[in-house]
Structure 1
Amino acid sequence: MNTRYRITRNPAGEQPELQLTLEECKALFEQQPDFVYQEEYKVRNAETVMTIKGDFFMWQVGGAEVPFRYYDGDLYVAVSHEIIYEKMTELAQALEAQFVEG
């Protein structure tokens, strides 16, 4: 089962000046050799392909892709495995942010 997390500096949403910026996220992820930036994410199943527009940092790990999505001053990721949780905590620390469930 996936649990969605939000990497944020502004958990209550009350201080917009604390929000993560897309530029600082891009700078961090450019330093990560196993991440690729994309402006859309394609979700495929046996019958259809759904395209979601946005700012995605795709983590290439163990033959799979894990999307970290930048949206409205925060990063979101669905955690389904311990290795994703570890990467999320590492990124939150590098961004001087915290992670909250939801």
Structure 2
Amino acid sequence: MMTLMNKRYKITRLDDAGSPTLTLEECQQFFATQPDVQYMDAFSVTQDGVNMKIAGHFFMWHVGNASIPFRFYDGELYVAIAHDAVYDKMLHIARSLEAMYVEG
């Protein structure tokens, strides 16, 4: 089992000019086929009694007791990976969208 240290990855597909080509609509259609993923237009987190809400396009992967956000932003999907199961899910998503993944 691989243990990863909270690395951020992005799933992207680039055109000939190097611009991202993933669309929100394409991602929504794909994730609608995933029964363990839910679309949300905001992500909320509470820590030490402080609640923070971030507006955006989030595809929440529900696995066990955890919810892992995949955030769509500017033609790319971003995810922080701290466990090999999230890494495996990212690989599946990238393959399914015919995209690549890069750290950063």
- Could you say whether these structures have the same fold, taking a TM-score greater than 0.5 normalized by the shorter chain as the test? yes
2:13 pairs with 1:9: yes
CA distance in 1, matches of 2:72, 2:50: 24
Structure 1 residue 14, shift from structure 2 partner: 3.5
CA distance in 1, matches of 2:17, 2:46: 36
Report the residue type matching 1:78 in the other structure. Answer: A
Unpaired runs of 5+ in structure 1? none
Question: What is the number of equivalent residue pairs in this alignment?
Answer: 100
3-state SS in 1 of match to 2:14: coil
Runs of 4+ in structure 1 deviating by more than 4 angstroms, as ranges, are: none
Normalised TM-score (structure 1): 0.93
Amino-acid identity (%): 50
CA distance in 1, matches of 2:17, 2:56: 23
Normalised TM-score (structure 2): 0.91
Question: Which of 94, 97, 104 pairs up with 1:95?
Answer: 97
Quote the RMSD (CA, aligned, Å): 1.6
Unpaired runs of 5+ in structure 2? none
